[in-house]
Chain A
Amino acid sequence: MKSPQERPRWLDAKENVTKVARALYVVCALAVLADLIIHRHAEVGADAFFGFYGLYGFIGSVFLVLAAKQLRKLLKRSEDYYDV
């Protein structure tokens, strides 16, 4: 268990978590802008568009989470559902 004298960690501060998030936003922007410098060789055609993989990854992930959230309404039961 946590002891009272424990030293606080860098990530414990809320503003530092915000810093991490902002760093991610910057890196994401850089990764998309890299499309301007590096010519990506398209695998299927559609993926030649600017920022295709970023967009696909973002939309795919948001869809996954929102769909799973709806799925939970349908599938969620109590923890001891099979025990009784």
Chain B
Amino acid sequence: MTFELNPGLLLIVGGVLLPLLRPGLRLVWMLALPVLGAYLLWHAPEGNHMPFEAFGVPLELYRVDSLSRIFGYIFLLATFLGGIYAAHLKNPLEPSAALVYAGAAVGAVFSGDLVSLFVFWELTALASVFLIWARGTERAFHTGMRYLVVQVGSGVVLLAGLLVRWQETGSVAFDHIGIDSVGGVLILIAFGVKCAFPLLHNWLQDAYPEATPTGTVILSAFTTKLAVYALARGYAGTDLLIWIGALMTAFPIFFAVIENDLRRVLAYSLNNQLGFMVVGVGIGTELALNGTAAHAFTHILYKALLFMSMGAVLHRVGTTLGTELGGLYKSMPWTTGFCIVGAASISGVPLFSGFVSKSMILSSAAYEGHYIVWGVLLFASAGVFHHSGIKIPFFAFYAHDSGKRPREAPGNMLLAMALTAVLCVGIGVWPSALYALLPYATDYIPYTDSHVLSQVQLLLFSALAFTVLMRTGIYPPELRSTNLDTEWFYRRLGRNLARGISNAIALGYAVALELVAYELRRLVATLRRQYGPGGVLARTWTTSGMVLWVAAMLGAYLVFYLV
């Protein structure tokens, strides 16, 4: 078959049409489209398809190569799994927005030029915000507005960058870009916002925990991994990214330890996992880029699984605050089990998916002599086990019994979690299937005695640390609180500055108004004195007086005439 169509466009059009369908058909539609998209991709040969020209600029709407293909597959798979997870929804808004959002992300991955990339880039922002607004609370509305400002802002920077680059090089092709030009730096900033680089990261922890249970599962898959893909395409081998990535793996985990909302904990750990991928891009060897692609693939699955399990808790209990949960394993045993599979995968337990992908990035850091970075990544690996691997399942399902006995998750949620869990274990046990999809051919072997033993030791002793700290009471308890992060600059400082400026303007305006009023009153008083009743110029004069004055004037005239 030679029907070559970017699967992203299929999903976007399908998503727009979805609300028009009968409710019974919507689920079939939602699941059939990603399958059809994957079929199209399977049969698409490598190369640039769907070329066309707009305003004299050649565009490539469907570039298939080994890098875009693996991201295309995992995005379509995530759409499918997210569709099952959201099958119980009656309102078509969320599935429709999810399809358009996923389609925009797939479309962006297959964009061969920066202009198409920009269009899809902005569409991901516009479509995805509905997954936050669908929560229906005022809080979610405000969060959505902040999210939109950041996401659309990233697109605006991308547009500026691509225009500058067009001026610099005369081309808008989306290949290696690098940071040796102004355009390249601008585009890196645009990618960095979506990838949640340190200090640009806080939109993620702000927005994802405020979306609907189903919406967060979808959100967690696309935006940030699209940014990882874009970095791998444009900035592979950029040394700066090694350090940015290492920082990203380390600092969010401190916040994750003290965060109470378990979905926000997952958002911090998402940020930390992105760091591993960014390090891989920065190292830029074939092994490292393979590691980045593989880690993006496994990460989308286990992160979705973790968000699904917490979504099920939110759906049943109405909260994911650690302080409100505990002991849920008694009434939600399946959800507990699936959550533990996700936790084992993100922690890189051997035989689970994270192990076979993260090892590649750590190995490549060691092979290239980045020993400090390797040490940071190892610390972050222990840390991620600590806050995601243990903390999430422990505080939600075990810890002290909250007395809550919610029903087990709905059947469709359980099915979605089961399928995702099977994939997590399957990739961990048979990594060769995943490795065959990677951008470069590889003979990497994750299961050596050394690797397995060192990872097992690392994880066991992290668990030991948790146990000891927990049993000695040193471990910080979950507390109902807000922890400050960079959002403080715009949610508090920025807001107060804006309020201060607006108050100052209001005060200045009032003073100015008062001054004008005072001057006007004085003017009116003067006029009144001169022209008002009793004023000099408005006085009534007597007839006899006037006759006397006329007689005097005539007398004076006579005198002048005679002289």
Contacts and interface: CB of A to CB of B under 8 A. Distances in A.
Contacts of A13: none
B450 A40 contact: yes
Contacts of B258: 68-69, 71-72, 75-76
A8 to B, nearest CB: 10
Interface string A29-51: 00110110011110111110001
Contacts of B371: 44-46
B382 A60 contact: yes
Contact of A2 (B257, B375, B403, B458): B403
B466 interface: yes
Given A2-B405, A65-B475, A76-B481, A82 B492 contact: yes
Given A64-B254, A79-B482, A57 B459 contact: yes
Contacts of A11: 398
8 contacts: A28-B460, A28-B461, A28-B464, A40-B450, A41-B450, A56-B379, A61-B461, A66-B474
Closest 10 CB pairs of A and B: A61-B465, A68-B257, A57-B461, A53-B457, A57-B458, A43-B366, A41-B450, A58-B461, A54-B461, A81-B482
A65 B465 contact: yes
B474 A64 contact: no
B366 A44 contact: yes
B462 A58 contact: yes
B481 A68 contact: no
B341 to A, nearest CB: 19
A47 B483 contact: no
A3 interface: yes
Interface in B328-375: 330, 362-363, 366, 371, 374-375
A50 B442 CA distance: 31
A47 B457 contact: no
Contact of A34 (B453, B469, B471, B475): B453
Contacts of A66: 474
Given A24-B464, A41-B449, 17 more contacts: A1-B405, A3-B405, A24-B467, A43-B362, A53-B453, A54-B461, A57-B457, A58-B462, A58-B464, A60-B383, A61-B383, A61-B386, A65-B465, A68-B255, A69-B476, A72-B483, A75-B483
B453 A35 contact: yes
A62 B460 contact: no
B454 A53 contact: yes
B152 interface: no
A59 B469 CA distance: 12
Given A44-B371, A56-B378, A27 B461 contact: no
Contacts of B461: 28, 31, 53-58, 61
A58 B465 contact: yes
B404 interface: yes
B448 interface: yes
Choose among A52, A56, A77, A81 the residue with the greatest number of B CB atoms under 10 Å from its CB.
A56
Interface string B126-153: 0000000000000100000000000000
A25 B374 CA distance: 27
